[in-house]
């Protein structure tokens, strides 16, 4: 599978889990599922970085997102 796709999906999963963690903590619950989602997202990002170590950085994040969206929406 494409490392760029893994990176983007992992990033989206990890970012979307953050509000769930905050909500669980404010309600006094243990954030079990959001923690697993962060773990899955982190592993996906780690796999992508391992496959292409020099391709990902803060300056290339928008390019990676645009490449993935353009590739899979055509």
Residues 6+ apart with CB under 8 A from 15: 41
Give per-residue pLDDT as tens, 60-70.
Answer: 999 999 999 99
Three-class secondary structure of residue 17 per DSSP: helix
Can you give the pLDDT at residue 74?
Answer: 83
Cα end-to-end span (Å), the chain? 18
Can you give the pLDDT at residue 54?
Answer: 86
Can you give the pLDDT at residue 55?
Answer: 86
Buried b vs exposed e over 28-54: b needs ≥16 C-beta within 10 Å? eeebeebeebbeebeebbeebbeeeee
Return d(Cα 4, Cα 6) in angstroms, integer: 5
Can you give the pLDDT at residue 57?
Answer: 87
Q: Name residues of the chain where pLDDT drops below 70.
A: none
């Amino acid at each position: 599978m494409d490392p760029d796709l893994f990176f983007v999906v992992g990033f989206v999963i990890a970012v979307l889990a953050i509000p769930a963690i905050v909500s669980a903590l404010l309600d006094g619950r243990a954030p079990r599922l959001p923690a697993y989602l962060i773990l899955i997202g982190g592993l996906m990002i780690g796999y992508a970085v391992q496959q292409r170590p020099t391709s990902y950085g803060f300056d290339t994040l928008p390019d990676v997102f645009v490449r993935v969206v353009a590739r899979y929406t055509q």
